[in-house]
Amino acid sequence: MGHIQDRWWKEVTDPVSGQVTRVKTSSYGKGLRYKVRYLDPQDNEKSKSFPDRQKKRADDFLLEVESDKREGKYVDPRAGEILFSKYVVTWFGGQSQDAATQENLHNQVDKRIEPFFGRMKMSGITIPRVREWIGWLGDAGLSLRYQQLLFDRLSSILNAAVEEKIITSNPCKARSVQRPSPPERRVTPWPEARMRSVRLALPIEYRIALVLGGGTGLRQGEVFGLAVDDIDRDALQLNVVRQVRIVGNQLVYALPKSKKARTVPLGGGVLDALDDHMADFPPVDVTLPWERPGGEMVTARLVLSMGGTACRRQVFNMGVWRPAFATAGLEYRPREDGMHGLRHLYASSQLENGVSIKALSLNLGHHDPGFTLRTYTHLMPTSHDRSRRAADRLFKPRGRPDGLETA
C-alpha cells in the first residue's frame, strides 16, 4: 500500500515524554509539498507530487492508483508524457503493411491529425481538445464524410494507446464528443438511358470499361487489371485476381480490395463485348511491380490499356471518362458519375432480377453481406406486391371501378 509524504512537516517524538509534535523540515516552503509514494504492478517504486493545499488531490490519486492496480487498469502517469508525434510512429507499424494503405494513412495523419495534436503529450489529448480538433476540421471546409474518416483514424490511434497503457481512456468515446456524421445518402443508380448515352460517347477503345463496370460490378482498378487469362469461357465467369493501383505515384499490381480474389458470373452479352473489343484492340502484355515500387515484377496480358501500359486512374478519369459526359450532352455529377456509379447500376440490376444479397455481396467483393444490405436495401424489390398477391389467393378481390385489380 502506498503512502503520502508531507515534505514540509515531520513528526518528532520526545524520547522522555513520548509526546509527538510536528516540526518544519528543511524543505519547508520549497517545491511541491505532498509526495505520493507507491509501487506499480511490477513492484517498481513510483511517486507523484502535489502542491500545498492539495492534500485531497494526493489522497484521491493514491486511492485511484490502488484501485486501478486491483482492477488491472493501472497506467503509469509518466507513460502519457510521450508526444503524439512520437507515439503515432509506432502506431503506423501496427497497421496494414499494404503500401497503398500505408500511404493513405500517412496522408491522413500527417495532414489532418498531427498538425493539431503533434506537440501534445498523449495524456494531454483530452475531451475538450478533441472537440476543438473537430471544430478545426470543420473550419478547414472538409466534408463530413472525410471528417468522420479522420475521427475514426484518431480514435484508432487512441484505442491503441489505451491498450498499451499509455493513457487511461479514449476521449473520442466520451458521450459528450459527437462523431461527425454525414447525412445518409441513398444510392441512386443511373437510368439505363444514361449508361447507353455515355457508352456511345466514350472513345470506342475504352467502351469495354463501362461494359465491365456495369455488367460485372468490377471496381475501376479491377477493370484496369483484368487480363485475358482471367476470362473463364467454360464456366462463364471472370476471375478477379488483381487490380491496378498507384503507390508513390507509380502504377503497381495488387490483390483486389481487402486482399480477396473472387469469381464473378459473366453474362453472354458482356463476353461478346469482350470478344469484340479484343478483336479490334488486341490485349497488351504489361509488366508492373507487385504491391509496391521495387516489388516483384509481374506480367499480365491486359484487356484494357492506355499508351501501351496499364491505365492510370487520374489520366483515364480526366482524359477519357469525364469528357464522355460532355460529348453525350450530360452534366457530370462528381458524386454520382464516377466509374463507381457502374457498380451501383450493376447492383440494382442484379437485385431487380432476383439475385440474393449474399450472392451480390460475393460478386461485388464486399467484406460483409450486411454492408451490401445496408447500402442497397432501398433498391430491393418491395415485398408488398408479393404480400398482396398471397392475401388475394385466399380472399379473391372484386374488380375495381377503374377496371384494375390488386393482383
- As a whole number of angstroms, the distance between CA 139 and CA 127 comes to 19
What number is the average pLDDT over the span 248-272? 94
pLDDT at residue 404 is higher than 80? no
- What residues pair up with 309 in beta bridges, in sequence order? 306
DSSP structural state of residue 37: E
pLDDT of residue 321: 98
pLDDT value at position 45?
87
Query: What average pLDDT score do residues 255-274 get?
Result: 94
Compute CA 357 distance to the chain's CA centroid, rounded to the nearest angstrom: 22
- Collapsing DSSP to helix, strand or coil, 254 comes out as strand
Question: For 212-216, 283-287, 388-392, which range has the lowest pLDDT when averaged over its residues?
Answer: 388-392
DSSP string over 42-86: T--EEEEEE-TT-HHHHHHHHHHHHHHHHHT----TTGGGSBHHH
pTM of the model: 0.74
Q: Is the pLDDT score of 400 beyond 60?
A: no
- The mean-pLDDT minimum among 20-34, 50-64, 85-99, 374-388 falls in 374-388
- pLDDT-wise least confident of 100-109, 325-334, 384-393: 384-393
Q: For 58-67, write each residue's pLDDT tens digit.
A: 999 899 888 8
Q: What is the pLDDT of residue 380?
A: 72
Q: Which of 152-166, 179-193, 209-223 has the lowest mean pLDDT?
A: 179-193
Helix (H, G, I), strand (E, B) or coil at 372: helix
CA distance 208 to 223: 9
- Res 403: pLDDT: 44
Phi, psi at 13, each rounded to 5°: -100, 125
pLDDT attached to residue 97: 84
Domain 97-173, what fold? DNA polymerase; domain 1 (1.10.150)
pLDDT at 384: 64
Q: What percent of the chain has pLDDT over 90?
A: 75
- Mean residue pLDDT of the chain comes to 92
The pLDDT of residue 79 is 86
- pLDDT tier for residue 385 given thresholds of 50, 70 and 90: low
Q: How far apart are CA 228 and CA 315, in angstroms?
A: 23
Kindly report, residue by residue over 131-170, the tens digit of the pLDDT: 999 999 999 999 999 999 999 999 999 999 999 989 989 9
- Give pLDDT, residue 406: 41
Place of cell 406486391: 385
Query: Cα 394 to the chain's mean position, in Å?
Result: 50
Render pLDDT for 296-316 as a digit per residue (tens, 0 to 9).
999 999 999 999 999 999 999
CATH 1.10.443.10 fits 192-379, yes or no: yes
Phi, psi of 47 (to 5 degrees): -155, 155
Q: Where are the domains of the chain?
A: 3-74, 97-173, 192-379
**pLDDT attached to residue 405:** 44
Question: Bridge-partner residues for 13, per DSSP?
Answer: 20
Q: Is the dihedral of CA 92, 98, 103, 108 positive or negative?
A: negative
Distances 76 to 3, 84, 120, 125, 300 between C-alpha atoms, Å = 17, 17, 17, 16, 54
